[in-house]
Amino acid sequence: MNRKTHSKKIYLPEERLPKAWYNIVADMPNKPLPPLHPATKKPVGPDDLAPLFPEALIMQEVTQERYVEIPAPVREIYKIWRPSPLIRAYELEKALDTPAKIYYKYEGVSPSGSHKPNTAVAQAFYNAEEGVKKITTETGAGQWGSALSYATQLFGIELQVFMVKVSYNQKPYRKTMMNIWKASVTPSPSGITDTGRKISAEDPGNPGSLGIAISEAVEMAVNDPSTKYSLGSVLNHVLLHQTVIGLEAKAQMEQVDAYPDVVIGCFGGGSNFAGISFPFVRDKIVGGKDIRIIAVEPDSCPKLTRGQFRYDFGDTIGMTPLIPMYTLGHGFMPPAIHAGGLRYHGAGAIVSQLLNDGFIEASAVPQLESFEAGMLFARTEGIIPAPESTHAVTQTIREALKAKAEGKEITILFNLSGHGHIDLGAYEQYLSNAIDNYSVTDEEIAENLKVLDQMGFPKIEKQK
């Protein structure tokens, strides 16, 4: 199929926007293991989550139903940017001189410029339905905070964002974006929670961390019955909402009689990867499709490729239940790569189970290669990718060049999860040869995992 015979951009009509999200748990041969209480090591139930999340989201967290209806008001808001375009990367294919056909789903068209609003709008809706007046959350680089700001103001919900202090100072544009959408943004550690005040008192120069910001957001939510907390990745209900990406992509590929041999997404907590891939994982599990599904992580935060599958805390300082995850240890501190959204020590329960069961595979890419890929993409396809998304581009280029070497006409689909307009400072550093490749030693990983042994956090064996 060549340029003359079909369009570069493939649009799905708004009336074909999916009416339900896809819940992969229904089709998994081995269901995700339950979270455990850190002290008792007993399963944590829905009731334990009630102080943090509205009931509807807790039910979605544990549901076994295959499809969960997207509420009509959420679908109406989705139509502001969805269905997002599927784009044939003709220009990239040409530059690589590859026989591979490359398609990408572009989520940068959303208000905040990434896939994050897909779940932010859904979460804001369910909170509003249950009368929640205020939500708290944490944000690192600011992608999640800005998406949730956009969503909460639509429903008249107040939002308090705890933004890691070092990012707050480095990325003023993200804070501005959150303010435009009416959120209050406080550098963390802050002066408005006990946690923040205690840490600031002990260490006045503390630059903050995602772990501290989570603690502050959770503290504020727990102390006020009309306030809930919201998370932008990792959890089952977040992954569920993101499947709208893959469902649309599948319908769009059908429109041009295409189907992927390889599906690729970058990997942080797992929500964008799950979004693009789960509907295709279903085809593999249920339909026996011969298809490779690749999660791409940074070389410097290699939980999927070099971590262990075992129970660990979801956060750095140990406030969450124990989650069954591929992990580098909750104490692992990823190097300061620019792909802030991929700097997370673990993977969600569902994705970890799928990796353990061999339905998906993982790959790790070094930072410099990811920026080279981002540059080539900007020069050919015209879109400057977010540093996170360049990881998916990198793996796509690797697969396309492999197909060229082998003379195979494969079809690749990847998710371009966001644009890099707010990340141009990172590209400037790359262009000035001022960024590092970063790597992580086996010793460093082993040391952090040893702590889990000492704490008695169970390892999980390969199942059948």
Residues that bind a second copy (CB under 8 A): 3, 7-9, 11, 13-15, 76, 79-81, 91, 109-111, 113, 150, 153, 172-173, 175-177, 179-182, 375, 378-379, 381-384, 419, 421-422, 424-425, 427-428, 431
Least distance from C-beta 227 to a second copy, angstroms? Answer: 22
Q: Which is nearer to a second copy, 153 or 437 (CB)?
A: 153
Q: How far is CA 141 from the centre of its chain?
A: 13
Which two three-digit tokens encode residue 49?
């989550």
Least distance from C-beta 82 to a second copy, angstroms? Answer: 9
DSSP state of 340: G
Burial class (CB in 10 A: 0-12, 13-18, 19+), 199: buried
Least distance from C-beta 94 to a second copy, angstroms? Answer: 11
DSSP 366-392: -HHHHHHHHHHHHHHTS--B-TTHHHH
Residues 118 and 338: their CA atoms lie apart, in Å, by 23
Identity of the residue numbered 218 = V
DSSP state of 423: G
Residues 153 and 159: their CA atoms lie apart, in Å, by 8
Q: Which is nearer to a second copy, 286 or 431 (CB)?
A: 431
Residues 184 and 194: their CA atoms lie apart, in Å, by 18
* 3 state SS of 248: helix
Least distance from C-beta 7 to a second copy, angstroms? Answer: 4
Least distance from C-beta 342 to a second copy, angstroms? Answer: 21
Which two three-digit tokens encode residue 333?
């501190």
Residues 35 and 37: their CA atoms lie apart, in Å, by 7
Residues 434 and 431: their CA atoms lie apart, in Å, by 7
Q: Which is nearer to a second copy, 293 or 435 (CB)?
A: 435
Position of tokens 């999927």? Answer: 304
Q: Which is nearer to a second copy, 182 or 402 (CB)?
A: 182
Which two three-digit tokens encode residue 185?
């943004």
Rg (the chain; Cα; Å)? 21
DSSP 89-117: -HHHHHHHT-S-EEEEEEGGGSTTSBSTH
Least distance from C-beta 428 to a second copy, angstroms? Answer: 4
Q: Which is nearer to a second copy, 79 or 450 (CB)?
A: 79
Least distance from C-beta 97 to a second copy, angstroms? Answer: 17
Least distance from C-beta 37 to a second copy, angstroms? Answer: 40
- Give which of 147, 82, 154 is closest to 111, Cα–Cα: 147
Q: Which is nearer to a second copy, 15 or 406 (CB)?
A: 15
Q: Which is nearer to a second copy, 175 or 345 (CB)?
A: 175
Which two three-digit tokens encode residue 179?
């303010």
Q: How many helices and strands in the chain, by DSSP H and E?
A: 18, 15
Q: Which is nearer to a second copy, 113 or 341 (CB)?
A: 113
Q: Which is nearer to a second copy, 48 or 254 (CB)?
A: 254
Least distance from C-beta 175 to a second copy, angstroms? Answer: 8
